Structure 1
Amino acid sequence: MEGYYWIQFGLIAIVCAMLEMQKMGTREKVTMPQNFMAFRNSYLFVYSLMMAGDWLQGPYVYALYQHYGYTTGDIGKLFIAGFGSSMIFGTVVGSMADKYGRKNAALTYVVTYIASCITKHWSDYGVLMLGRFFGGIATSLLFTAFESWLVAEHFKRGYEAEWLDKTFAKAIFLGNGLVSIVSGLLANYLVTDMSLGPVAPFDAAAIFLAIGGVVIMFSWTENKGDNSENTSVQQGMKQAYEAIKNDKKVFYLGAMQSLFEASMYSFVFLWTPALGPNGEDIPHGMIFATMMVACMVGSSVASRIMSRSDMKVERYMQLVFLASAASLAVPVLVGNMGFMTEGERGGSMTFGGKIQMLAFLVFEAMVGIFWPSMMKMRSQYVPEEVRSTVMNFFRIPLNLFVCVILYNVALFPLSAMFAMCSIFLVLAAFLQKKLETLANVQSHKYVPMEQTFP
């Protein structure tokens, strides 16, 4: 019965999202040229397919490893291998994307992720470990190559800068919201209703990735970093390092991204034990769908905020980080007030769990605002010639932190983990304030004398 209500909820959410997208699209067609709309819709179609390939796998990775009989420790090592692969190889593939082309990098993402999906058909630990390495490389490309291609292609075609903000918001609305819900429902249907086993979602993911790869191959043009022809991969990595070292805005931006995403990925592992610390029977499917709807709401809010000229992204993101910190501090307060011990195994979610659930929905809404807003700031501050490389440099501390968390997750209480995430987010707000101050100083630095007086 729970599964029925989960599917019903998901379908309602999908219908609401489609209506919202249709309403937003109708308003924009009045002011945006048709060629831009075609370009954006083509990108959003591909991006949605790529995200579907990622979301279909998420709910059943852990379950598949359990199905093959591996212990929690063995599974933890597999996850560490994925994040470690992203950390070690991500910067290299990012630099190669800048030199050899973002379209080629996108196709590499398709190939490596399909290879990762194929390895799931074997229960051999070594083969599964190889799949995690492929998956780590693919993840680095997913969150860098596509955005880099979009930004370069957008400006190469001469489109207005503010239109890029709307593309970012729609990409998150679709890819991290609507597509995630549809993918979760499809994965559940394949495994539960069709009884195809936990490997079925990975096969479906490979199909979506292959379709997207064909579209990329025949419809995308190639773009590279500005100096890519005369720059080796090693030189590109050095240029990216110099850009981060010499430009405080880029450094602050990267630090904020690492702090927020480290908290976000830690949250992915922490929310289940937080809502059911005593083995309570919590509706995982309903909770996941609800969180994704909250993320969609956040991305829709971001679209409206970024369209206002009086709302600077550098300013409102300070509030986003602080609200995120406050929401992840709620489990700390709940634990200290004794709500964590009131439940029982097999029982329903406790009152403390429901309070945390509301806080987690706020956090997911902030995630929905964070992604398009961070994309906007990266398009403004990160150098075009080494964009993919710089973005992957940002992911090194993120992946390192998540690896450490996974390796030591049993050593710390949940409240300590959430407190650490909350501190990270407060620090991100502080860095955002410094970025705003620096950006304001530099924007007024070269104002002509005659413009400073009436």
Structure 2
Amino acid sequence: MGTKFITLRIHNNVLLLFNRSLSSFFQQISLSHPFADQSRSPTSHRYFLFLYSLASAMEGVWSVFGDFEFVYSGASKEQILFSLILGFGSSLLLAPLLAFLFDSIGGHNKACLVFCILHLFVGIWKRIVPQSHPCVWFLTLSSSLATGIFSFAFEAWIVLENEDQGYRLRALTNTFWLMTFIESASLIGSQVLVNWLLASDVDTGIASSSTATIFIAIIGIFCVTKGWKQTPHSAPVKDRRWMSYINIFSDKRILLLGFAHACLQFSIAIFWILWAPTLVADGREVHLGLIYPCLMGARMLGSTVCPWLFCGSSSLRIEDCLVYAFTVMGLALSIVAYDYQEIGVLVSLFCLFHAGVGLIIPSLARLRTIHVPNELRGGMISLSLAPANAAILFLLILRGYYQNIENSTMVALAALGLFMASGSMHLLKRLGKQPFGNWHKS
């Protein structure tokens, strides 16, 4: 009886959260349209957001469906652990190299094309090769590379397009929070699609999900290669590019910004690894499929705060807001780390955490626009993720193979990282009061 009550309450929370998110979304659009003050057509930005929604849907199908597919195919805990280690290891080693490569050739649209091709390959492989094939772990490698490309390619692409087409910073800022909003909505749509495909027959649903991924990937490839009217953009001069790479590593602002980004991604990864075991501890029956939309809805709600923060009459600086947001998220995970058992409180803390994620991701993108050279943006995003991937890889080995660390300790480390990110934003604010060179005028 208690479980049914919890399920009903969570379902009501989902509807309430969506209503508030959509209401805030359309209100912000009407009051402060991203392209209201532009003389050029916003068609290219709308087209980009459509392409980004397709990419988010492809990522969502794997993130929602991956664990279930492993369990259904009979994979052991050791095999699932090896898959996670392989994924984070490949992201650690290969993703920064790809980011610097695409920065060098000035072709982030090519990176997006590679992203779609990787998902197309994964979908075709799942359709024609059985899950028990010895080379099935190659799928994990491909999916991890696609996720690594997703983390930097689309943001770097739209920033360069914004610069080449002459849009103002306000339009780009609104695009950032719209990307976060649309990504969260696409993840919910991916969950709905997967659940609908699996409703009748599991085997048929697994094959149909791969077909859906193939179909979406083909549309994405068409959009990148044929449908997108890209503004010609020349790659930076080689000597100037490498000199910029050398200089930015000595810029404390960029280092602090990268550190905060690494701490955020570390905490997000730890959350997604441990959120389900935390909720179902002690054999409790919890409908995770109803909680997941709550989390994404909270993230959507958090992203709608950004237009008010960036373009409204708020007197808060971005750094101040991030100091508070990181602190609140750290406190939320600290309570979870103390092994709190009440389901309602845990779900509320999880939603609070994701509301902070929805606010922080566009805010960090805005700060990157201020402090990081546009032509080097992809490499710096991917490089800032390397410490997070290395830390997660280390914790997975300790937890999975040596049993030297508990789940609560991993959550506590994620909370500590968020507190450290809050401190880095405070230092960034203090450095921001000092004069510095503008990278985008060089």
Write the deviation string for residues 248-300 of structure 1: whole angstroms up to 9, x where unpaired. Answer: 11111111111111011100011111122112110101110111110010001
Amino acid at match of 2:36: T
Out of 244, 247, 252, the residue aligned to residue 248 of structure 1 is 252
CA distance in 2, matches of 1:389, 1:239: 14
Partners of 2:61 and 2:358 lie apart in 1 by 19
**One-letter amino acid of the structure 2 residue matched with residue 421 of structure 1:** A
- Residue number in structure 2 paired with 1:172: 180
The alpha carbon displacement at 1:106 in A equals 0.9
Please state if 1:367 is matched with 2:375.
no
**Cα distance in 2 between the residues matched to 1:419 and 1:370:** 20
Does the 8 Å contact 1:225/1:385 carry over to 2? no
Do the aligned partners of residues 145 and 203 (structure 1) sit closer, same or farther apart at CA in structure 2, a change above 3 Å counting? same
Partner of 2:411: 418
**Contact (CA 8 Å) 2:165, 2:231: kept in 1 or not?**
no
Maintained 8 Å contact 2:194/2:205: no
Amino acid at match of 1:23: Q
CA distance in 2, matches of 1:275, 1:184: 19
Cα distance in 2, alignment partners of residues 54 and 419 from structure 1: 28
Shift in alpha-carbon separation, 1:84–1:444, aligned structure 2, 3 A:
closer
* 5+ residue gaps, structure 1: 341-351, 446-454
Which region of structure 1 is more displaced relative to structure 2, 289-298 or 389-398? 389-398
Shift of 1:428: 0.6
**Alpha-carbon separation, structure 2, partners of 1:417 and 1:403:** 12
Which piece of structure 1 moves more, 192-201 or 242-251? 192-201
Q: CA 1:246 to 1:125, structure 2 compared with 1: closer, same or farther past 3 Å?
A: farther
2:164–2:231: 8 Å Cα contact kept in structure 1? no
Deviates more, 1:63-72 or 1:259-268: 63-72
Provide the residue aligned with 1:287 in structure 2: 291
Letter in 2 for 1:104: K
User: Which residue identity is paired with 1:322?
Assistant: T
- 1:227-266 paired onto structure 2 within 5 Å: 227=236, 230=238, 242-266=246-270
C-alpha distance in 2 between matches for 1:401 and 1:203: 35
1:214 to 217, 222, 226: 222
Match of 1:448 in 2: none
Deviations 1:297-334 (A, max 9, x none): 0001122212136232122101111011001001233x
TM-superposed CA distance for 1:138, in Å, is: 1.1
Q: Tell me which amino acid in the other structure corresponds to 1:183.
A: S
Q: 1:320 to 1:103 in 2, by over 3 A?
A: same
**292-301 vs 198-207, which moves further:** 198-207
Contact 1:103-1:223 within 8 A present in 2 as well: no
Conservation of the 8 A alpha-carbon contact between 1:181 and 1:292: yes
- The Cα shift of 1:15 comes to 6.5
Match among 276, 293, 307 for residue 272 of structure 1: 276
Q: Which residue of 2 aligns with 1:103?
A: 109
Aligned length: 423
Q: Which moved more, 1:110-119 or 1:160-169?
A: 110-119
Task: Give the aligned CA root-mean-square deviation in angstroms.
Answer: 2.7
Cα separation, 2, equivalents of 1:7 and 1:38: 37
> What one-letter code is carried by the residue in structure 2 that aligns with 1:105?
A
1:322-348 Cα shifts (integer Å, max 9, x gaps): 011001001233x3xxx54xxxxxxxx
1:115 aligns with 2:121: yes
Q: TM-score, normalised by structure 2?
A: 0.88
- SS state at 2:391 partner: helix
Are the aligned partners of 2:260 and 2:424 in contact in 1 as well (CA < 8 Å)?
yes
Task: Give ranges in structure 2 of 5+ residues lacking alignment.
Answer: none
Distance 1:239 1:135, change over 3 A: farther
What amino acid does structure 2 have at the position aligned with 1:116? V
Structure 2 partner of 1:192: 199
Distance in 1 (CA, whole Å) between partners of 2:437 and 2:249 is: 23
User: Whole-Å Cα distance in 2 between the matches of residues 88 and 225 of structure 1?
Assistant: 27
Report the counterpart of residue 314 of structure 1 in structure 2.
Answer: 319
Change (3 A) 1:376 1:321: same
Q: Specify which of 172, 185, 190 is matched with residue 183 of structure 1.
A: 190
Paired letter, 2:330: A
CA change 1:227–1:275 in 2 (3 A) is same
1:284-433 equivalent positions in 2, closer than 5 A? 284-308=288-312, 310-333=315-338, 335=339, 340=341, 352-410=342-400, 411=403, 412-433=405-426
2:92 corresponds in structure 1 to 87
